[in-house]
Amino acid sequence: MKTALIILAAGKGTRMNSDLPKVLHPIAGAPMLHHAMRAGDILDPEHTVIVAGYGAEAVTTSVASIDPGAQVVLQEEQLGTAHAAAQARDALAGFDGRAIVLFGDTPFVRPETLQELTASPADVTVLGFEAADPARYGRLVMNGTQLERIVEFKDATPSEREITLCNSGVLAAPAPLLFDLIDAVGNNNAQNEYYLTELPRLARARGLSVAVTRCNEAETLGINSRAELAAADAQFQTRARAQLMDDGVTLVAPDTVYLSLDTIIGRDALIEPNVVFGPGVTVESGATVRAFSHLEGCHVSRGATVGPYARLRPGTELAEDVRIGNFVEIKQATIAAGAKVNHLSYVGDATVGPASNIGAGTITCNYDGVMKHRTEIGARAFIGSNTMLVAPLTVGDDAMTGSGSVITSDVEDGALAIARAPQVEKPGMARKLFEMLKAKKARQSRGS
């Protein structure tokens, strides 16, 4: 079935108290809008239309980063949800498939729920949920299997307020019918706005079928404040951790592991406590990430070990059986199979060949204040502790550097490079220097 997504994302989110458009506030390292877009991907939509308003330029940039084919349209005045959905009319001109209206600040509707919504044979289908505490939600008034109307809490009779089946706001209908019904929506209400909640009543008045697809209440969580944002992030983390463990990943202390929307971890991987996965991380099966490590924009291959207290920055590629140890930072670097960077080192803008060993305190000096430069280290090289590799630089296969060296020229295959000043020893000078310093300190103490 041909489908199109209309995602309403025009609100400022006043309760966020922020200059950032509400839908761009992050959950699990990604704007909440991206969560809604990603859920809709399962439908393989022919069109994705984002209705933006406040901060439209920033929203457009964010949308393009995840789906360059999505179209952003502008709702210049915020006159209600029906008015917002109507802004997608031109973008969907000539499209006769099913349109699904989603909300950018309701990010947790599951892909499976959207599939069920799309498969409904009814003319209009509304997504509803059984609320544990209906509170002030709109109620879905049913007549058998047909939805008669949506009634807002303030307008509901006492008996209608007893209804626990509530409105999520999400709905689906053939695009031509959707816009035809929207044209009939009035604004005879206190806010003088046009609401999608009128569509079921209008459809039933025409003799059309209106059905309800039901979902879990947790899927309908809307986000309007920083507190709700934090709660949403916690909900995502709980669900994502459980899914990983179901998929065969070992999380030693699940509640301490932070995941991003796009985190991928293969089965039989071991994740120790207090690990943070930023966006863009893939960890293959059988890898180990030790405690207190931070990974972002990187790929960790099978059998590799990272940490503890390691940082992998964007552009890091670790091959099989690589060892990255404590207090090591890797950035824009490829570490080949079996190589080791075990202690207190920075490797950036570099390639490290297979089975090479990078000693403690090694730094690839990649930045001259203006430009970044690369370091190329060959296979089976041994970089002595506290070596400064001043890029651009190539260290050949089976080469070695002496500890404490500052290497500024290429090192040939199999060569040993030593670049450090000769040691100078002055007999008795240490005692004299200590005596001078102690006397100076005593004079300063008396003066104070």
Q: Which of 25, 299, 343, 373 is catalytic?
A: 343
Q: Is the pLDDT of residue 12 over 90?
A: no
Q: For 51-86, b where at least 16 C-beta lie within 10 A, e where not — what string? A: bbbbbbebbbebbeebbeebbbbebeeebbbbbbbb
Give the rounded percent of residues in the chain with a pLDDT score beyond 90.
92
Cβ–Cβ under 8 Å, residues 444 and 430: no
Burial of 173 (0-12, 13-18, 19+ CB in 10 A): buried
Q: Is the dihedral of CA 67, 71, 77, 83 positive or negative?
A: negative
The whole-number pLDDT of residue 446 equals 84
Q: Is the pLDDT of residue 383 over 70?
A: yes
**226-417 matches 3-220 in CATH topology:** no
pLDDT in tens, 214-258: 999 999 999 999 999 999 999 999 999 999 999 999 999 999 999
Alpha carbons 238 and 232: distance in angstroms, whole number? 10
**Torsions phi, psi for 153 (to 5 deg):** -55, -45
226-417 fold: UDP N-Acetylglucosamine Acyltransferase; domain 1 (2.160.10)
Token pair, residue 439, equals: 């006397």
Q: Is the dihedral of CA 14, 19, 25, 26 positive or negative?
A: negative
- Domain spans in the chain, listed from the N-terminal domain onward: 3-220, 226-417
Burial of 144 (0-12, 13-18, 19+ CB in 10 A): exposed
Q: Is the pLDDT of residue 190 over 90?
A: no
- For the beta carbon of residue 214, count every other beta carbon within 10 angstroms: 15
The whole-number pLDDT of residue 136 equals 83
CA gyration radius, the chain:
30
CA atoms within 13 A on the CB side of 229: 21
The whole-number pLDDT of residue 448 equals 64
Token pair, residue 213, equals: 């697809």
Mean pLDDT of 408-413: 97
Alpha carbons 107 and 239: distance in angstroms, whole number? 13
**Mean pLDDT rounded to a whole number for the chain:** 95
- For the beta carbon of residue 1, count every other beta carbon within 10 angstroms: 8
What's the whole-model pTM score? 0.89
Does the 3-220 domain belong in CATH 3.90.550.10? yes
pLDDT in tens, 34-79: 999 999 999 999 999 999 999 999 999 999 999 999 999 999 998 9
Mean pLDDT of 277-301: 98
Question: Is 47 one of the catalytic residues?
Answer: no
Q: Which of 361, 403, 399, 407 is nearest to 380 (CA)?
A: 399
Q: Is the pLDDT of residue 260 over 90?
A: yes
pLDDT in tens, 16-33: 999 999 999 999 999 999
Residues 272, 265, 226, 311: what is their CA dihedral angle, to the nearest 10 degrees? 60
**Torsions phi, psi for 119 (to 5 deg):** -75, -10
